[in-house]
Amino acid sequence: MIEIKNLHKSYKMGSNALHVLKGIDFSVKEGELVAIMGSSGSGKSTLLNIIGMLDTLDEGSYTLDGVPIKDLNETKAANYRNKFLGFVFQSFNLINYKNAMENVALPLYYQKVGRKERQEKAMKYLEQVGLKEWATHLPSELSGGQKQRVAIARAMAAEPKVLLADEPTGALDSTTSYEVMDLIQKINDEGNTILVVTHEEDIAHMCKRIVHLKDGVIVEDKKVKQVRAKNYV
Ligand code: ADP
Ligand code: MG
């Protein structure tokens, strides 16, 4: 599904450059649940943003579902991103003046799905994250965990090939974090491919594989026995 070879990325800082990713080799098969773990500043978000086509690479290659990303022009890249990738962020990124259902329906609007089907699909995904009763509530009326579940429903409503989550539990207390990870595990159980960026070891162990980033290189890439989050909720 994802194949990255010898990936390098630098940020320009005035006349200097900050070399953030220094030769990453990384691939992910369909159905995997992978944690990208590392301390703050190790390059996790940079890597995830490149995988998510929110940022570009300097050197190396990246192939997503058989398509070399470098070959796509901007419009094609945007279409490809909307069609193939779902995003979840630490800060939820919900639209404050839209209710839960409208937030979930939004990507479907961009996919030009008709109004009625949008609403039906949004309700279906809200139900899957256990928030059907909260459909007409605004984000400000939801707890942090509920907001993240709306964000996950929104990402899944577009039926992406890969779900990318950058510190999805970063703003949540531990019980709520486990609830969110329980949901991510369930979505993966259904066969969805998911990448979770985290700096927390216990969250990483709720994935099936841990890729450890340190100073821009992968220092360890191992399969782990998945800890089920619901045992902790
Ligand atoms: P992590 O997500 O692991 O905390 P990041 O990928 O966000 O790490 O950042 C890696 C390094 O790159 C950090 O030193 C950070 O300050 C720097 N960095 C990230 N984004 C930018 C940017 N847009 N411009 C300049 N430097 C950046
Ligand atoms: Mg980060």
- Cβ of 20 closer than 6 Å to ligand 1, yes or no, is yes
| 85, 53 contact by CB (below 8 A) | yes
- Please report whether residue 156 resides in a domain: no
The boundaries of the domain holding residue 220 are 2-95+161-232
- Please report whether residue 91 resides in a domain: yes
What are the residues whose beta carbon lies below 5 Å from ligand 2 (ion)? Answer: 45
Which of 8, 13, 15, 20 best tests ligand 1's pocket when mutated (most atoms within 8 Å of CB)?
20
- CA distances (Å), origin 202, targets 5, 124, 199: 28, 30, 9
Percent of the chain having pLDDT more than 90?
A: 89
Specify the residue with its C-alpha closest to ligand 1, atom 7: 45
- Cβ of 40 closer than 6 Å to ligand 1, yes or no, is yes
| pLDDT band per the 50, 70, 90 thresholds, residue 21 | very high
As a whole number, mean pLDDT of residues 154-164 equals 95
- Please report whether residue 87 resides in a domain: yes
| 222, 207 contact by CB (below 8 A) | no
- Please report whether residue 131 resides in a domain: no
Per the prediction, the chain carries an average pLDDT of: 95
| pLDDT band per the 50, 70, 90 thresholds, residue 110 | confident
> What does the pLDDT read at residue 127?
96
> What does the pLDDT read at residue 13?
86
pLDDT(32) > 90? yes
> What does the pLDDT read at residue 18?
95
- Please report whether residue 195 resides in a domain: yes
- Please report whether residue 125 resides in a domain: no
Specify the residue with its C-alpha closest to ligand 1, atom 16: 41
CA dist 175 and 202 (Å) reads 12
Run of H or E residues at 119: helix 115-128
Number of domains comprising the chain: 1
Percent of the chain having pLDDT more than 70?
A: 100
- Cβ of 41 closer than 6 Å to ligand 1, yes or no, is yes
> What does the pLDDT read at residue 72?
86
pLDDT(71) > 90? no
- Please report whether residue 54 resides in a domain: yes
CA atoms within 13 A on the CB side of 59: 11
Specify the residue with its C-alpha closest to ligand 1, atom 25: 11
- Please report whether residue 147 resides in a domain: no
CA dist 233 and 135 (Å) reads 24
Instruction: Give 188-225 pLDDT, tens digit per residue.
Output: 999 999 999 999 999 999 999 999 999 999 999 999 99
CA dist 215 and 213 (Å) reads 7
> What does the pLDDT read at residue 120?
95
| 179, 143 contact by CB (below 8 A) | no
As a whole number, mean pLDDT of residues 149-169 equals 96
- Cβ of 42 closer than 6 Å to ligand 1, yes or no, is yes
Written as six digits, the tokens of 50 are: 């490149």
pLDDT(74) > 90? no
Q: Beta partners for 88?
A: 165
pTM of the model: 0.95
Residues of 166-204 as b/e, b for ≥16 C-beta within 10 angstroms? bbbbbbbeeebbbbbbbbbbebbeeebbbbbbbbeeebb
Q: 7: domain CATH number?
A: 3.40.50.300
